[in-house]
A and B are shown apart, each in its own frame.
Chain A
Amino acid sequence: AQSVTQLGSHVSVSEGALVLLRCNYSSSVPPYLFWYVQYPNQGLQLLLKYTTGATLVKGINGFEAEFKKSETSFHLTKPSAHMSDAAEYFCAVSDTGGFKTIFGAGTRLFVKA
């Protein structure tokens, strides 16, 4: 069985500050890991994904995440927050890639001017 835990339902940062959204997963097999962003009343947009290979994954909009197997973590970071980054972020895990993806509860990011 797989599961995802996102630490912190809400995160607030100042514009220009570092963004760190935490995600820990549980999986009995090598996981595929994803971060999605959702703007109000919209579907999900893929930010980045880890399947195999390099553990530091770069995504769109300046986001990146690092897969740490020893810590079962896949935290999302961005060096400098922008007002447009304010949204809901979901971490997700699957075992065979895109099949039967399990989502975390989500973290709402607020960016203060």
Chain B
Amino acid sequence: GAVVSQHPSRVICKSGTSVKIECRSLDFQATTMFWYRQFPKQSLMLMATSNEGSKATYEQGVEKDKFLINHASLTLSTLTVTSAHPEDSSFYICSVSREDQETQYFGPGTRLLVL
């Protein structure tokens, strides 16, 4: 069965609105979750590392005020795209890592389209 779920799977929003994407670890408690962004026909780019109970660590070039990450519990991390613009349209994928950190388990992804 699925180890990681994401909600919603697809979302269409108007430019200027905010969108929240949820990532849930279903099988184990995840102290660390990762958020990736994937443009069409491109690879995954790590956006940020989400740590339970502390601030997320953002990769260089990722605006932390635009992509708000909250990891409020050991099974839930949220990514909020604030004041979304068409260039934010992308496929957002989260992943979770066990404590041994040998393997990441990826969510099914969320397709965001900003009009």
Among B4, B93, B102, the most chain A Cβ lie within 10 Å of the Cβ of: B102
Contact B32 A99 (CB under 8 A): yes
Q: How far is the CA of A105 from the CA of B74 in the complex (A)?
A: 31
Q: How many residues of A contact B (CB 8 A)?
A: 23
Q: From B11-19, B43-51, B65-73, B80-88, give the one contacting chain A.
A: B43-51
Q: How many of chain B's residues touch chain A, expressed as a range?
A: 20 to 34
Which residues of the partner chain B approach A43 to less than 8 Å between Cβ atoms?
Answer: 4, 6, 93, 106-109
26 intermolecular pairs with C-beta atoms under 8 Å apart: A32-B102, A34-B103, A36-B106, A41-B109, A42-B108, A43-B93, A44-B95, A45-B106, A46-B103, A49-B103, A51-B102, A90-B43, A96-B101, A97-B101, A98-B95, A98-B98, A98-B103, A99-B97, A99-B101, A100-B46, A101-B34, A101-B46, A102-B46, A103-B44, A103-B45, A106-B43
Which A residues have a C-beta under 8 Å from some C-beta of B?
32, 34, 36, 41-46, 49, 51, 90, 96-106
